[in-house]
Every structure is written in C-alpha cells, then in structure tokens.
Amino acid sequence: MKKFCMPGSLKVTVRSSLFAIAALAIVGCDKSSETTAPANAESAKANVEQTVAVPVEINIVNKNATAETRSLFAFMLEQRKKAIMFGHQHDTTQGLTITTTDGTQSDTFNAVGDFAAVYGWDTLSIVTPKMEGDVVEQVKKAYARGGIITVSSHFDNPITDKQKGEWPVGTSWDKTPAVVASLPGGEFNSVYNGYLDQLADWANNLKDDNGKLIPVIFRILHENTGSWFWWGAEQSTPEQYKKLYQYTVEYLRDTKGVNNFLFAYSPNNFADATEANYLERYPGDAWVDVLGFDTYGPAENNAEWFANVVANAALVVRMAEARGKVPVISEIGIRAPDIEAGKYDNQWYRKLIGGLKADKDARNIAFLLTWRNAPEGVPGPDGKNVPHYWVPTNREENINNGTLEDLREFYKDDATAFNRDISGVYGISTSVK
C-alpha cells in the first residue's frame, strides 16, 4: 500500500566546534534522506555533531493558534506536493454499510480498507438542536487516528430562527436576507452571536486524551456566490458578506479566544475561473487560511464540468501559493438531482484524479472532500426517500455498476492519500510571521 510520511519537525544537522554549518533536510519515514553538510577543517577536527530543530515559518490568521493547529497548516502546505488527501463528510457517523456510528466504522473503510484522511462535520452537530447528532467522541477518535478535522457552517437564519415550521423556514436554506441583521448593530446580531458562542464553547472544550485542543479547519458561510443560503449573492452585497465573514473570525478568535481553528473560504466554482471572480467576495488574506471552492456536476456528459474543476483547482493553487495559503476542493461530487435520480458514472473518481494529476497547478491541492452517505436517503419527488450518497460502498449495487471498482482505483493511485497514508500531522515545529 502507498505510504507518505511527513516530518515531525524540520531539522538541521551540523558539525562544528565554533560555527554551525547547516544542511536542511525534511525528516520523514526514510531517515536516509537526511543530509549532513560537508565539514570545514575546523569542524572536521572537532567532529562535534548536534541536531537543531528549525521551525517552519508560516503566516496564519490567528497568531496565537495552538502548536498543533500551526502544525496542521504547515503539514498541509507540504503534503499537497506529494498527494491529494481524500475527505468525506460524516465519514464515521453516517453510512450505508456500517453497524455503529461511534467513530469506529465507515463506508470508506469498508470499501477500500482505510478511513478518509479528512473527516468532515458541520455546525449542525454543534449548535442547538444538533440535528445531525453530537460528534465530539467521533472527532476525538478521528484525531487520535491521525486524521484531519474540518467543520462547515449551516447556521440557521437568525431572522426566522424562531419561526421554524415547514422547511426551509428558519434554516440555512431560508433565503430571507439576514447578513446585515447579523452584523454588530443589526437587529439579530445577538442571535448570530448565540450560534458563535455555542461553536466557541465546543471548540474550546474539544480536547484529546492529553488535554490538548484538537485543531479544526472551520469553513465559514460557504457557497456564498450562490443564492440558496441566507448569506448568498442575492441576499448580500460582496462588502456585506465580507464584513460578516470577518466578524465571524474576529468574534471567535478575539472575543471567544478560539485558538484551534484554521479559517477556510469556499465559494462555488466559477464558470470563468479568474482571480477577479474569486476575489469579488473574498474577505481578504488577513482573514483566510484555506482557499477552496465547492463544485457539483452531472453524472453524464460531464467532460466540460471536469475541465472546469481542474481550472478552478489550478486557480486556487496559484492564488494560495502567492499568498502562503492552503488550496483545497472543499466539496465535490455528482450533483444532488442526479444522485437522487440514481444516476452514476463508474469512471467518476478516475476522471477526477486523472484530470487533477495532468495539470501542473491543480495537482497541488491539499485535499478534496465528498459529501455524506445518508443511510436514510432524502425525500424524492414523490415524497419517498431516495439514495443520497457520494462514496461508493461494498454493497452489491456498487459492485455491479462498477462504482466500487472506480473508488478502489482512485484509492490505489499514488496521487491520493487516505488516513494511513499521512503521519506527523500535528508534530511539526513552526514559527508564525
């Protein structure tokens, strides 16, 4: 099985009695890769060897972030040059083939023999009423396994929160514009703050067995260039959205003292993948650690869509590299109407990784994340529940239609990384600019 090992730190090996003559080497699984600088005459006589940890310099939104959170950022910057990590929403808490949701099983594992490298959850498991179920223990298990945690935000509509009845009233999908009302001075700022207070309390108490805070990539108010959420393009101007994103970071970081978050920005994919389009609603480099985008396309006749995925991936990579950020595909999959209609593409995963690998920029994203495998499905046009899943399983259906084989080929590709393919995520020594 493929295996990628990352450094616990960046080290310098030196030989000198008076002066340090350094050769830098990233220390991974193969320690034979370490190099030692040629010694000068004086150091040859002294023949004194010492190893000095050299912190990796990073620039992140929260200068007071925990060591583990800083390490996660540094790890992703380096890992993306080796392989693209696979992510799955609710990898261990929802599934079609699992018998428990306690964090020990997953459809991904049952399909390929390993868990996702990136585990996705949402504020729907954090903010009351936690409609997707509390996931603290499952997050802890994923972290103990060496996995990476990301959390998206489906905050209820602050204006209509108390009016819930027939869906989507009061939910994220309630299109009542609420961005201005959620900002300081707005009538419903206290309601929005209430959501953030619960999230902050969750984050500040999310600790491993040694009492250390668990790092989280927090994805704020995603898909803002669409208009299906209350913070969308038709519900707010670019400047209004930017202010709410910035306020969210500031409130969590400065008011609530959350020091284990990296902050992600993820609009929809752009038909015209240009920096100008991406920057229109971008809150600014001072507020973003991770540059991503969300994209869903058809199950059939999808060559044009795959080309657009590559174009958008290449764009975020170039932008991230210019800014010292981490580029990702924060959500990707076959679009929901096709999934719910039972449509599939048994070459989908191979097309995806093939297209990304072929582009010199797109191949350098840190991870991509697929959406959840809902065991109950979702209501279809006739009111009956229909399939709703993005990771093929080891069920007869996916064996027969070829989608399981497709996922397994994706898994075996050296350009992809799953949970066991990553290590040293949280032990890199860093310094913050």
Catalytic site residues?
223, 331
| Residue 385, SS3 per DSSP | strand
**What is the signed CA dihedral for 212, 217, 220, 221, rounded to 10 degrees?**
-120
**H or E segment at 112?**
helix 107-112
Q: Do residues 81 and 111 lie in contact, with contact meaning Cβ atoms separated by under 8 Å?
A: no
Cβ atoms < 10 Å from Cβ of 34 = 15
Strands (E), 209-311: 216-219, 261-265, 290-291, 294-297
How far is the first Cα of the chain from the last one, in angstroms, to the nearest whole number?
38
Spatial separation of the C-alpha atoms in residues 3 and 6, rounded to whole Å: 10
Peptide bond into 7 cis (omega under 30): no
**What is the signed CA dihedral for 313, 318, 323, 329, rounded to 10 degrees?**
10
Spatial separation of the C-alpha atoms in residues 313 and 12, rounded to whole Å: 34
Spatial separation of the C-alpha atoms in residues 23 and 39, rounded to whole Å: 11
Spatial separation of the C-alpha atoms in residues 263 and 241, rounded to whole Å: 15
Q: Do residues 274 and 322 lie in contact, with contact meaning Cβ atoms separated by under 8 Å?
A: no
β pairing state of 56-58 and 49-53: unpaired
Spatial separation of the C-alpha atoms in residues 207 and 102, rounded to whole Å: 17
